[in-house]
Amino acid sequence: MPDARPAADVLALPDVAAIRAAAARIAPHVHRTPLFTCRSLDAEVGAQLLFKAENLQRTGAFKARGATNAVFSLSEAEARRGVVTHSSGNHGAALAYAAARRGIPAVVVMPDNAARVKLDNVRRHGATIRLCAPTPAAREAACAEVERETGAVLVHPFDDPRVIAGQGTAALELLEQASDLDVVVAPVGGGGLLSGTAIAVRSSSPATKVYGAEPANADDAARSFRSGRVEPLPCAVTLADGLRTTLSLRTLGAIRGGVEAVGVASEAAIVRAMRMFWERTKLLIEPSSAVPLACLLEGTLEVRGARVGIILSGGNVDLDRLPWQS
């Protein structure tokens, strides 16, 4: 997506030093989440799986890392004017949380058809919500209006080096907690988490491969990975609503540079993986978090015999209706 910034900025990525700096910056504000293992899931997949539980992260998702790094990277003058973003999901709550920790205002632009549970989650963390029509144009116009009115800094959900550096801290921790990983798998939507993961793993553990995982019904990242262009989303719907986003030029660059493969999972496999994970581990994960396991169960990512770190992206689920309930 070309914009008014110079090309170099559009492609700029954090290096591992920036990810380490982010880790130090956000440490007082986020959890060092634990790893979980489960022998019966290992037996299902035929591999040794280590799950990084970002579902237990503050605000219920890894997004707290990137948002906190962005907010605490602002100068005093910038911070005073507050932050703004558009998000119908976890990034909005994460930015609200981070802004509250720094004591600055946050505005989250949300579509006027957003689920009540998502509105509540953003409001609970103290942000102001600005509703707009559920289109990209309306969303960008509303963000620009807030920027103009208040001077607030836009913190994009993924297309921002500070956000990518923050997301990369999850993989950095994972590598500290578990040595000798053959593979790390992360879900991919806009690509912030996968980009940060690729950069962290390439530098800290070059022998470890990085895989992305996404729904077959939103396989734009797999196609972009192959074509080298930012491919559009297909029209199909997916349960893993957190992954219904295209890459940016920036995240595509990071992923093409540091990721070995992007696997896709059917909707049926995502539901099966999510339920199996709940039953076997007693940990709640949202559909997007089940996509890597779904790829392993369907065999679209091959990890047999390997030692595999999997980043569980989040645990914010609508408990009124579960995907396996008709």
Interacting residues toward a second copy by CB under 8 A = 34, 55-56, 60, 275, 278-279, 281-285, 315, 319-322, 324-325
The number of C-alpha atoms within 13 Å of 220 and in the hemisphere containing its C-beta is 24
Looking at beta carbons only, is 148 or 321 nearer to a second copy? 321
Give min distance, CB of 129 to a second copy, in A: 20
Give min distance, CB of 282 to a second copy, in A: 4
8 A C-beta contact, residue 48 and residue 42: yes
Q: Residue 228 is encoded by which pair of tokens?
A: 């080298």
Give min distance, CB of 209 to a second copy, in A: 28
How far is residue 244's CA from residue 316's CA, in Å, rounded to a whole number? 16
How far is residue 59's CA from residue 97's CA, in Å, rounded to a whole number? 7
Looking at beta carbons only, is 29 or 156 nearer to a second copy? 29
Torsion, CA 76, CA 78, CA 82, CA 84, rounded to 10: -140
83 three-class SS: strand
Looking at beta carbons only, is 58 or 139 nearer to a second copy? 58
How far is residue 54's CA from residue 129's CA, in Å, rounded to a whole number? 25
How far is residue 296's CA from residue 308's CA, in Å, rounded to a whole number? 10
Looking at beta carbons only, is 161 or 315 nearer to a second copy? 315
Looking at beta carbons only, is 30 or 142 nearer to a second copy? 30
Give min distance, CB of 322 to a second copy, in A: 7
8 A C-beta contact, residue 200 and residue 226: no
How far is residue 233's CA from residue 255's CA, in Å, rounded to a whole number? 17
Give min distance, CB of 61 to a second copy, in A: 10
Looking at beta carbons only, is 54 or 220 nearer to a second copy? 54
**What number of other Cβ atoms are within 10 A of residue 45's Cβ?**
18
Q: What is the DSSP letter of 231?
A: P
User: In sequence order, which residues have a C-beta less than 8 Å from that of residue 167 and are 6 or more positions away?
Assistant: 62, 63, 65, 66, 158, 192, 193, 195, 196, 197
Give min distance, CB of 9 to a second copy, in A: 37
Looking at beta carbons only, is 54 or 298 nearer to a second copy? 54
Give min distance, CB of 162 to a second copy, in A: 26
Give min distance, CB of 55 to a second copy, in A: 5
Element (H, E) at 297: helix 287-298
Looking at beta carbons only, is 59 or 87 nearer to a second copy? 59
